[in-house]
A and B are shown apart, each in its own frame.
Chain A
Amino acid sequence: MQQPVTIEYLVSDETFIAFCLGTDPDAIAYWTQKEQQHPQHYAVYREARELVMALHAYSQAKEIEEEASKLKALLHGPDEAVMAADAIPDDRRIQWRVPVAAAIVLLAGIYCFLLLRRPAVTLIMVQTSAGETKQISLPDGSSIWLNAESRLQYPKPFGQKREVALLEGEAYFDVMHDAERPFLVTTPSGMRVLDIGTAFNVKSYTALEEESVGVVTGEVLLSHPGHPGKSRLKAGEGGIVDKRSGTLRLAHYSGEAAGWMNGNIVLNDVSFRELQLVLRNTFKIQLLFSDTAMADCRITTSFRRNEKITDILRTLKIVYGISYTTRGDTIRLKGTPCT
C-alpha cells in the first residue's frame, strides 16, 4: 500500500526536506523522479517545497537577526573588553581569552535582552516571475504594483522613512502622503525618488542601460549620486538615468506607459532591446535579432497582455517593415527598423 501523498507528510519527511534543501544527491534524484512520475500531484509537491523553503528562510532570517544583535552588542561594548583578537593567536593572548569571552557573552546577553524588547524588523522581499504582476498593499495605505520579472524589498515595520528598494524590474507606486514620514524609492544605481504625495513608476532592469522614473500624479524629488542637486518632477514628467555615466536627463512621461498594471503595455520611444525584455517578461518569448545593431533602434508601439504575439508582430511588420520567423518560443526579427 502506498501512503497517500499529503503536504504535511512531505514537509516532515526526512528525504523530502533533504531534496528541497539540496543536501543529499540521492534524495534529489529520488524526489525529482517521483515528481516526474506523478505530474497530477504537481501542486502538492510544489506547495510542500515552498513550505519547506519558507520554514528554512524564516529560520535563517531569525538566526541572522539574533547574530546581528550579538554583533551589535560586540560593537558597542567597552573597547578594551571586546577588541577583536588578531586572526593569528599568540600564547599571551590565549591566557586572557576566557575572561574576555565571558565578558562578551555577558554583554551580548544584556544587549540581546534590550534589543529583543524592540519590535523586530523583517525585510520583506516580493518577486514576480515572467507573465505575472502583483499588487502589494502596504500597512500605511500605499499600494505598489510590481511588473513581471521584478523584485523589491522593504522593511516591516517601516522606520522613520518609508523606504522601498526596487532591486530589479518595474514598479508603480501609489503613495499615501505623510509629511512626517517621507516615502523613498531607491534603485541599484543609486537613484532616489522621494515622493510628495504621488503616483509614479520606477524602472530598473539589469538588462537595460537606463533607469527611469515617471510621475503620473503629484510630484517627486529625484536625485542620483552622479548628479548634483535634486530635480522636482511633476505629473507628466520623467527622469532617465544612464547607469554607467550616472547622468540624469529629464523627459516627458506619458501616464499611458504605466498602463502595464491593467495589461496595457505602452512602449514610447524605447529601444528594441527593451521590447525584447518586455516580450520575454510578459509572454516568455525570446526575441532574437538577425543584426545586433537592431537592438539600439527605437520603437513606439502598444499592445495588450492578452493579445496574440502574432498580432503584435504583424503590427511591427506593417509599421517598421520588419519580417520575422517563429520557432517555438523563439522569434527572429529581420529588417532595418532604424531607417
Chain B
Amino acid sequence: MTNLDVRQLWTGLLQGDESLFYRLYDTLYTGVLAYGLKFSPDRELVKDAINQTFLYLWQKRASLPDAQSPQAYILTAFKRRLISMLESRQGIPSSSGWPETWNEPAETSHEQVLVHQDDTYRLQETVSAAIASLPPRKQQLIRLKYLEGLSYREIAVRTRLSERTIYNKLHEAVKTLRTQLADTDTPYPSVLTAQLALR
C-alpha cells in the first residue's frame, strides 16, 4: 500500500467515514503491532494500546491534523499511549524517565516499520479455507508458532502441553493442510506461490 492510499484513508477518517477508518486500521495494524512489540513483549498489552489509540483517533477525528504522513502521526500517538500504559502498569511515575529499554528501537523509521504490512493480506482463499477447517486447538497452536513466533518451549509453558505434543500436533496440522490443498481442484497448480513468496 502506498503512502497515497494511507492518506486517502486518513482523509476518510477526518470526514468521519467509519468503513475507511477500519480500512486504515487493517492497513496499519501489522506495522504498528510490530513497532509496539519492540517496546514490550506483552502482545495483549500492545494490542490493547493499538485499539485505545484508534479509539482516540476516532473520537478526536474532528480535531486531527491533515497529516502529510498519517503513519508517523499514528505511530507517535500510539507510542505515547503504550508508554503511559506500561508506566501505569509498572507504577513508574512519568518524571523518572524511561528505562533504557524503552528508547526508540534502533533502525526504526516510520516508513520501514510500516512497509512489510503490505504482505499481510496476501492470502490465497484456498489456503485460508483449509486452515479455517482445522480444529480450534490446532489453530491456536498455529497462531502461537507462526504468528507470534514462539519457540516450542515457550508454547509449552503457555499451553501446559508437552513440547513433543505441540510438535506432533503442528506436524499433523501441516499434513492435513497439504492433503486438503492437494484435494482442492484449483485451476492453478501454483495456488500457493501467488503472494506468499518471501522477499
Residues of A within 8 A of B (CB): 7-9, 11-12, 14, 17-18, 20-23, 46-47, 49-64, 67-68, 70-72, 74-75, 82-85, 87-89, 94, 97, 122-129, 134-135, 137, 153, 156, 167, 188, 190, 206
Contact = CB atoms under 8 A, between A and B. Distances in A.
A50 B192 contact: yes
Contacts of B56: 84, 87
B174 A125 contact: no
B26 interface: yes
Given A74-B51, A87-B81, A12 B167 contact: yes
Interface stretch (B64-72, B98-106, B138-146): B138-146
B39 interface: no
28 contacts: A8-B174, A12-B170, A12-B174, A49-B197, A50-B196, A50-B197, A51-B178, A53-B119, A54-B127, A54-B128, A55-B145, A57-B119, A57-B196, A58-B123, A58-B132, A59-B142, A60-B30, A61-B121, A67-B47, A83-B59, A84-B59, A87-B56, A87-B77, A88-B94, A124-B121, A125-B121, A125-B122, A126-B195
A301 B51 CA distance: 53
B22 A72 contact: yes
Contacts of A83: 59
A127 B122 contact: yes
A54 B174 CA distance: 11
Contacts, number: 164
Contacts of A87: 56, 77, 80-81, 84
Interface string B122-142: 111101100110000001001
B123 A124 contact: yes
A23 B38 CA distance: 13
B125 A122 contact: yes
Nearest to A49: B198
A49 B188 CA distance: 18
Contact of A51 (B26, B55, B132, B192): B192
Contacts of A126: 124, 194-195
B187 to A, nearest CB: 7
A71 B198 CA distance: 31
Contacts of A137: 187
B125 A64 contact: no
Given A8-B171, A54-B123, 18 more contacts: A7-B174, A49-B197, A51-B177, A53-B197, A54-B192, A59-B139, A63-B47, A63-B143, A64-B26, A64-B29, A64-B120, A67-B50, A87-B80, A89-B88, A126-B124, A127-B194, A135-B187, A190-B8
Contacts of B22: 68, 71-72
Contacts of B120: 57, 60-61, 64
10 closest pairs, A vs B, by CB? A59-B147, A84-B56, A55-B146, A53-B196, A87-B80, A59-B143, A54-B127, A127-B195, A84-B55, A50-B192
B192 A84 contact: no
Contacts of B177: 51
Nearest to A65: B26
Interface size class of B (residues with CB under 8 A): 35 or more
A87 B53 CA distance: 8
A55 B146 CA distance: 6
Contacts of B170: 11-12
Given A8-B174, A124-B123, A56 B193 contact: no
A124 B145 CA distance: 23
Contacts of A156: 125
B162 interface: no
Contacts of A62: 139, 143
A53 B8 CA distance: 29
Contact of A54 (B8, B29, B131): B131
A174 to B, nearest CB: 15
A18 B50 contact: no
Nearest to A137: B187
B198 A53 contact: yes
Nearest to A77: B55
A134 B124 CA distance: 13
Contacts of B151: 14
Given A58-B131, A70-B51, A188-B2, A11 B58 contact: no
A72 B55 CA distance: 9
A128 B199 CA distance: 14
Chain B CB count within 10 A is highest, among A7, A23, A126, for: A126
Interface in B166-194: 167, 170-171, 174-175, 177-178, 187-188, 192-194
A57 B122 contact: yes
Contacts of B147: 56, 59-60, 63
Nearest to A101: B48
